[in-house]
Structure 1
Amino acid sequence: MVVIPQKAIMNRNRLSQTLLTGLNKQMTQEALAAQTYLSFAVWAADEGYNGIANFLFRHAGEERTHMMKFLQYIIERGAKPVIEAVPKPQSDPENVQDCFERIFQQEVGNTKGVYKLVKMSFEEEDWATWHFMQWFVQEQTEEEALALHLLDKIKVAGGKDAAAEALYTLDRDLAQLPDEVMLAQSKTTRNT
């Protein structure tokens, strides 16, 4: 049996330390987003908003999937993901409008992290990572559009002072709302 000295083993990592650190940070951010959605879903269920809770539970799973995409990509590029502790989610929302305003702000934060990674990968000419991040650019555009759509619905329902009937209707609608919205660039005269 031939023993290969450790120095002779090829370095398989195809990510710069800067990008690896950024990808790990975004992976942790996605995990925090999942926990926040989960926490807000529990709040909604406790408040009797089962449709809103169901919507938020589904999005918690979606954010966890995003986290796993980052983890898998780091492994595929020959690097080792670093699993960090996730901070405790924020306190419970004060009302439905506060819940979705905080979700929107969380999505904006995720978008900033994604854009930072896109810029880094472009500057480093790491085209594999740049290409990988394009899916997240599209996803974050959809996530922000969906959050804004929901805030518009809440505003029409009365915002922070929404009547119980309006919140009941909103809750029922969110139970059936698709998790995606159609973006302007995908609309045509036949598809509006």
Structure 2
Amino acid sequence: MISKKMADAINKHMNLELHSAHLYLSMSSCANALGLKGAATWFSVQYREEMAHFFKFYTYLIDQGENIELLAGKAVPNQYKTLLEMVEKTLVHEQLITKCINDLSEQAVKEKDHATQIFLQWFVTEQIEEENNDRDLIAKLKMVGDNGYGILMIDAEMGQRVFTPPPGTTVMI
């Protein structure tokens, strides 16, 4: 049985995952406006992943007998000058998510909530991948600088990304 404190913390984080989805959907739109269709696809996939994460938390709370509270969301930025800026902001955001997941994990350990500890392990591993992907893109973008051909090559590579639903996701976006 999940504690009220743990359920509230997960509910709060679930809403942060929804905010993340909105952030990446906005970035997809901005990338499209910049003529970077591949990056728009990449951010669209990122949006779908965050929605899947949201639903994993949602389902977990429902399975624990909790009532979901959807919180009012803050507006997300919708203006970026470069792809590098978007990806750098993505890394900063994913580092925030990592900290929040780690905080949830620590709370689950303190409460001896083994079910929540197990549930959160997938997210701990996922965040390593998220941050690594962002760092790789940042390194490539810094390598090419303002070279339009280089940016277009990276854009084309980003466009190859496809959405793969995470295990345990019951609602598809």
**Please, what TM-score do these two structures have when normalized by structure 2?**
0.91
Runs in 1 of length 4+ with deviation above 2 angstroms?
177-180
Structure 2 CA distance, aligned partners of 1:137 and 1:179?
19
Q: What residue identity is the alignment partner of 1:123?
A: K
User: Measured at CA, do residues 115 and 106 of structure 1 come closer, stay the same or move farther in structure 2, by a change above 3 Å?
Assistant: same
Q: What residue is the counterpart of 2:52 in the other structure? A: 65
* 1:177 Cα deviation after fit: 4.4
* 1:172 Cα deviation after fit: 0.9
Q: Any gaps of 5 or more consecutive residues in structure 1?
A: 1-13, 181-192
User: Measured at CA, do residues 178 and 154 of structure 1 come closer, stay the same or move farther in structure 2, by a change above 3 Å?
Assistant: farther
Does structure 1 retain, via aligned residues, the 8 Å contact 2:41–2:161? no
> Is 1:117–2:104 an aligned residue pair?
yes
Equivalent pairs, count? 164
> Is 1:142–2:126 an aligned residue pair?
no
Q: What residue is the counterpart of 1:163 in the other structure? A: 147
Q: What residue is the counterpart of 2:159 in the other structure? A: 175
Structure 2 CA distance, aligned partners of 1:20 and 1:140?
21
Q: 1:71-94 deviations in whole A, cap 9, x for unaligned?
A: 000010111111111211124222
Q: What residue is the counterpart of 2:168 in the other structure? A: none
* 1:149 Cα deviation after fit: 0.8
Q: What residue is the counterpart of 1:190 in the other structure? A: none
Q: What residue is the counterpart of 2:81 in the other structure? A: 94
SS of 1:176's partner is coil
Determine which of 70, 73, 77 is the counterpart of 1:83. Answer: 70
**Identity %, equivalent residues:** 29
Structure 2 CA distance, aligned partners of 1:94 and 1:165?
17
* 1:122 Cα deviation after fit: 0.3
Q: Any gaps of 5 or more consecutive residues in structure 2?
A: 165-173
Determine which of 45, 49, 55 is the counterpart of 2:32. Answer: 45
Q: Could you say which structure has the greater relative contact order, defined with CA pairs below 8 angstroms and 6 or more residues apart?
A: 2
Q: What residue identity is the alignment partner of 1:171?
A: D
CA RMSD in angstroms, aligned pairs only: 1.4
Q: 1:149-177 deviations in whole A, cap 9, x for unaligned?
A: 1111111111xxx1211111111111124
Q: What residue identity is the alignment partner of 2:156?
A: R
* 1:178 Cα deviation after fit: 6.3
Q: What residue identity is the alignment partner of 1:77?
A: Q
Structure 1 CA distance, aligned partners of 2:119 and 2:112?
13
Q: What residue is the counterpart of 2:22 in the other structure? A: 35
Does structure 1 retain, via aligned residues, the 8 Å contact 2:38–2:156? yes
* 1:179 Cα deviation after fit: 6.9
